[in-house]
Structure 1
Amino acid sequence: MSNMRIGGLASGFDTNQMVMDLMKAERMPMERLLQQRQVLEWQQEGYRELNQKLFSMRDKVFDVRLESTFNSKNASSSNTSAIGVTATGIAAEGTYNLEVTQLAKGAFKTSTADLASYQIADGKTKMTLKEQFSTDLWGTLSPGEGDTGAFNINGVDFEFDISDDTIYDIVNRINAQSGETGVRANYDSGVSRFFLSTTSTGADAKIDISGTMSSTNGAILLGSHGLKLGNADNVSTGQDAVFNFNGTELTKSLNIFSLDGLNFNLMSEGSSTVTVSADIDAIVNKIKEFVDEYNSLIENINSKLAEKRYRDFHPLSKEEKEQMSDEEIELWEKKAQSGLFRGESALMNFTSSMRIAISSLVENIDTKYNSLSQIGISTSSWTGEDGKLIDAKLRDEGGKLHIDEAKLRSALSDDIEGIKRLFTNSSEDPKEAGIARSLYDQAVAVTKIITVRAGRDSTLQAIDDSFIGRRLKNINTSINSWEDRLIRIEERYWSQFTRMEQVLNKMYNQSDWMAQQFANL
């Protein structure tokens, strides 16, 4: 088919406008598909945003569904300068006595006297061991070993050459093997001392350089003519922490350790009384976080269910947007998106089941606190005893929860184990299941329903098998077909108008010829 288009040369018609008007009518079925696609995309986005809020609420419910939340403990030390302490959930409440008689320490070796001065001589950038220790060292070296030698730390050999190595080369070589030897080295030129220390503390920490005896030069380097670390056969060892805990003497290789659910940090010798109690503040904060997330979700769902549907406000086409300002487009689309979830059954059922769980009694949990209202968590009444409205704002909250914090704290102080069961009790019988467990199960169920309906944010459109995802795929297929069809229709219109122009042009030419012939008679 020819792509040449002749527009109104013979007829004088505005062919381009006529084709545009004809195509506008032809395009209407596809415009309806585009509108349907936009509505589905809005619904999909709304469902997925709601699922994110459900996930957030589910996570907060999960916190109060765990027994560990209600096992939070506080620990205090009467002597914080000597003994630091924190508690985990397994620590038993009560008072403990701790007396530290010895701190854990590592092993160390230090030069017993000042080393030869480390100075840069004759413009050199470094001074070798031979230059630094002068005749103190190299004058006593074994002729058989020359300027080289080796020493051994905790079973690991280190080689050296006094003509080439500096004292810092020795430090770096030792530190490179600290993972194997458990020993680190340091040289402080300010105090002219060489240090060896273990990377850990306790009686098992040691610095053993006895293996150096197999190398004469190694023993000399570490000995009185070199680094002055004392006798090579003298093994330095660390020491354990020694303390008395509630009448029992114990030892630990570290000053930071855990015992009976308590984390200790021993800083000096001394005694302390450690007190462990329930961390009411932490528990209240977790419950508050749950209530805040619950209320946020309830508010969001209620607003979606109650939104008015403006059926006269359809999704705007590209041409319609071109005729409107950005503000007009925003206001229009706000109304077009309103009410998409009005009366949505899954959301209505979910909010109803949540309200039932929130207000239900939990049976057979062996406590007088068997409902949230008994611990200060409830929806507020908006009517008086006579049934008349006293607070329209509370009525419009749609089931939000309110916390009487003083009542909640009092209940936790009175029976924290009972309140733990109120939230966390596990049972096959729904009447005996803890409130947090019931809410969690309901949140999981509705997120699955929404995922089946709208998919997940991370799901690629090509593999989205959700209800809306499948509908969008079908609509996109139809739109693609319509786009191809409309191209053919437009080409057909142009072909028809072009032929008309060609026929008219031929007629006009014939008419002109005939008129010329008559004029010549």
Structure 2
Amino acid sequence: MGNLRITGMATGMDTDATIKQMMKPYTMKVDKMKQDRQIVAWKQELYRDILADTSTIKDTYFDNLRPDTNMLSKNNYAGFDVTSNNVIAAQSAGVSAKASVGAVAGSYSVYVDKLASAAKVEGVAINESNAAYLTNSVEGKITFEVGGTKPAVEIIVPVGKNKDELIAYINGEIAGSTSLKGKLIVSAGAGESIKFSALTNDSVKVDSDINMNCMTNLKGKVINPNRYTTKLSDLGIEDGGTLTFDYKDSNGITKKSNPITVSKDATISQLIDAVNQGTSGAVKLNFSELTGKFSMESLQTGSSALLNVTEDGGKGVLTKLNLNAVSTPGINAKVTITPPGIGAVAITVEKPGNTFSIDGVNYTLTQAGTTNNITVTGNSQKTYDKIKGFIDKYNELVDKVSQKIDEKKQYKFLPLSDEQKKDMKEDEIKQWDIKAKVGLLKGDSSLEGMLNSMRSAFFQGVEGAGISLSEIGLSTSPDTTQRGKIIIDEKKLKTAIETRGEQVANLFAKNSTTYSSYSQEASSTERSTRNKEQGIFQRINDILQDYTKATGKKGILIEKAGIKGDTKSFLSEDIIKKDKKINEMIKSLAARENSYYLKFSKLEVAMNKLNSQSSWLTQQLGGGK
């Protein structure tokens, strides 16, 4: 609550008006500081508006996560459409294709002989016996533990049962058992091993002493394991076993893993993760609950793929997983391609993978034994639209920045004080502020530097591109006030895309071979070399990072204005300092004002005393007559 002041009664002075006038030089200083603070805030706002535009360009045209608009990828300069049709309509398509820069338009015939495959280690289903069944010569016993309940249910098998008789007998016993009925079944096709199949989600463990040569791999195992809940001990595995892998990494380098310890308490999923991590993803261990089989395969495909697995510890890990110890080698893809042109000769090639590129056409093989006709058709409009889309956004940025650094300052329009706003309407204040912001960035050296760098990026030649900007129909506006906005000759650019597509891609997207990655710490020599070797849009991306990088060493504009919530930028710190100074000045104003009121109060007291004395004297003089 403010102080209640009764002033001017003795002196007859308008004390409030007098003190307000005395305070005016000091309030003007506060208002000036507030104006300075507002100007800094407006400058920050203008910088951040430009930063938002640069972010839009980077996020749209220089982001690897947006492959369709990423202008640093040469794939976006391929002026082609591709269609693929299987020669035999009843067959599924065996190959798909995309055309990149350097492709030749026309019809291609592609016969897929073989698909590339990885080196593999195949397994036998957990619920199958791994040897032929022989008629039992002695009475045997099979036990079933369902859902972990004990004791297990026993079935006694009489002597002299052949495979079909054994299967019929066991199924009959199951059907007559309250504990087993509807929960599992035994089967075997012609020439197949005996298979135990669970009919519910209950875990089923089988054990037997009958014809052990046949039933060894089933002894003591859960026949329907779940990868996330079944422990390796339920597959008969004991602690102490290890697996070691020989493989090739993604670069084709032969490596040997450290021994991977197999724990009986681990789940199937945890064993899969251990193999994946122990081989850095180069070997994939699989388990299918549908087939009940374990398998392994190499990440690398083709005839040079390598996958050898050895076990140590004498615990028979591979045997208990029903996995073979010997791997099946990978094979190369084999494909016959007839390129466009009259009299073109079919060429058969082998590739280590099912995805590869030949003469600018990227093939993906999906099915062997198929023939596909692939048609590559020129479509310059698609590439033209992408280039033009970037140029339009670039020109908008150049136009905005040029306007900010060229516009004249409106010196008579300063930020309004609180006192001035009291007598103005809201719309009048808004219009005033718009005019007051004009020219705040006039001649800004940082923005001038960014514009000059971007203009230079377009018109400095690109080493090894084999084409110039003028040859593809791009030039600067003859209007010098537009500060290097780019003008496009549509016909000339489309022709260049159709006839010199690879060179157009190099002109815009070529990456430096000497310094392939952007570095803000690069020396001037390294920057110069990288700049000469890379394409125009690569250069623009570097420049935008120089000015707008928000992590690590910050870009020039970020360092100056920061982003919303950033208090570490130069302008943010300046605003904080000014706010502190304003608060100090306001406290000083209050103290000074109170001091003035105190002095006038004393004057009132003195005047009251003087008036009282004057009144007494008047009375005394009047009384003496």
TM-score by length of 2: 0.54
| Structure 1 CA distance for aligned equivalents of residues 115 and 545 of structure 2 | 54
Are residues 1:37 and 2:37 paired?
yes
| Equivalent residue for 2:493, pick from 404, 408, 426 | 408
Are residues 1:51 and 2:51 paired?
yes
- Quote the offset at 1:338 in angstroms: 0.7
| Structure 1 CA distance for aligned equivalents of residues 99 and 457 of structure 2 | 31
| Structure 2 CA distance for aligned equivalents of residues 155 and 250 of structure 1 | 41
User: 1:11-63 CA deviation, whole Å, 9 max, x = no partner?
Assistant: 34443343333323321112111111111221122123223434444664785
Higher relative contact order (CA 8 A, sep 6+): 1
Deviates more, 1:503-512 or 1:411-420: 503-512
- Quote the offset at 1:196 in angstroms: 4.8
Q: How does 1:386-405 map to 2 (within 5 A)?
A: 397-405=482-490
Say if 1:306 and 1:343, in contact at 8 Å, map to a contact too: yes
Change (3 A) 1:47 1:346: same
Q: Structure 2 counterpart of 1:245, which letter?
A: V
Say if 2:112 and 2:367, in contact at 8 Å, map to a contact too: no
Are residues 1:139 and 2:238 paired?
no
Deviates more, 1:41-50 or 1:11-20: 11-20
Say if 2:80 and 2:378, in contact at 8 Å, map to a contact too: yes
Q: Which residue of 2 aligns with 1:298?
A: 398
Q: State the identity %.
A: 26
Q: Which residue of 1 aligns with 2:96?
A: 85
User: 1:72-120 CA deviation, whole Å, 9 max, x = no partner?
Assistant: 876542229423524486997684623368999x9999x9xxxxxxxxx
| Structure 2 CA distance for aligned equivalents of residues 201 and 272 of structure 1 | 32
Q: How does 1:179-258 map to 2 (within 5 A)?
A: 182=286, 196=291, 244-246=334-336, 247=348, 258=355
| Structure 2 CA distance for aligned equivalents of residues 282 and 412 of structure 1 | 10
User: 1:399-438 CA deviation, whole Å, 9 max, x = no partner?
Assistant: 4323233322211222223223333374739777643344
User: 1:465-489 CA deviation, whole Å, 9 max, x = no partner?
Assistant: x3x4554455344323322321221
Are residues 1:490 and 2:556 paired?
no
Change (3 A) 1:313 1:453: farther
| Structure 1 CA distance for aligned equivalents of residues 433 and 45 of structure 2 | 14
| Structure 1 CA distance for aligned equivalents of residues 413 and 380 of structure 2 | 53
Q: Which residue of 2 aligns with 1:284?
A: 384
Are residues 1:418 and 2:503 paired?
yes
- Quote the offset at 1:375 in angstroms: 0.7
Change (3 A) 1:357 1:250: closer
User: 1:288-339 CA deviation, whole Å, 9 max, x = no partner?
Assistant: 2320221111110122133232111110111211221110001100111111
Change (3 A) 1:86 1:517: farther
| Structure 1 CA distance for aligned equivalents of residues 269 and 62 of structure 2 | 47
Structure that is richer in helix per residue: 1
| Equivalent residue for 2:474, pick from 370, 377, 382 | 377
User: 1:208-236 CA deviation, whole Å, 9 max, x = no partner?
Assistant: xxxxxxxxxxxxxxxxxxxxxxxxx9x9x
| Structure 2 CA distance for aligned equivalents of residues 182 and 481 of structure 1 | 71
Say if 2:395 and 2:486, in contact at 8 Å, map to a contact too: yes
Instruction: Name the SS of the counterpart of 1:308 in structure 2.
Output: coil
Say if 1:98 and 1:243, in contact at 8 Å, map to a contact too: no
Say if 1:158 and 1:174, in contact at 8 Å, map to a contact too: no
- Quote the offset at 1:490 in angstroms: 0.8
Q: Structure 2 counterpart of 1:487, which letter?
A: A
- Return 5+ residue gaps in structure 2 as ranges: 64-69, 128-148, 154-170, 181-201, 208-216, 232-266, 273-284, 300-321, 325-329, 337-347, 513-527, 549-553
- Quote the offset at 1:373 in angstroms: 2.4
Q: Which residue of 2 aligns with 1:99?
A: 112
Give the alignment's Cα RMSD to 1 decimal: 5.3
Say if 2:93 and 2:370, in contact at 8 Å, map to a contact too: yes
Are residues 1:150 and 2:205 paired?
yes
Say if 1:48 and 1:457, in contact at 8 Å, map to a contact too: yes
- Quote the offset at 1:352 in angstroms: 4.3
Say if 2:566 and 2:572, in contact at 8 Å, map to a contact too: no
Say if 2:511 and 2:534, in contact at 8 Å, map to a contact too: yes
- Return 5+ residue gaps in structure 1 as ranges: 112-127, 161-166, 186-194, 205-232, 382-393
Are residues 1:309 and 2:436 paired?
no
Say if 1:73 and 1:279, in contact at 8 Å, map to a contact too: yes
Change (3 A) 1:405 1:438: same
Q: Which residue of 1 aligns with 2:536?
A: 435
Q: Which residue of 2 aligns with 1:479?
A: 582
- Quote the offset at 1:182 in angstroms: 4.9
Change (3 A) 1:83 1:21: farther
Are residues 1:456 and 2:562 paired?
yes
Say if 1:84 and 1:265, in contact at 8 Å, map to a contact too: yes
How many residue pairs end up in the alignment? 433
| Structure 2 CA distance for aligned equivalents of residues 347 and 184 of structure 1 | 61
| Structure 2 CA distance for aligned equivalents of residues 404 and 40 of structure 1 | 42
| Equivalent residue for 2:373, pick from 273, 284, 288 | 273
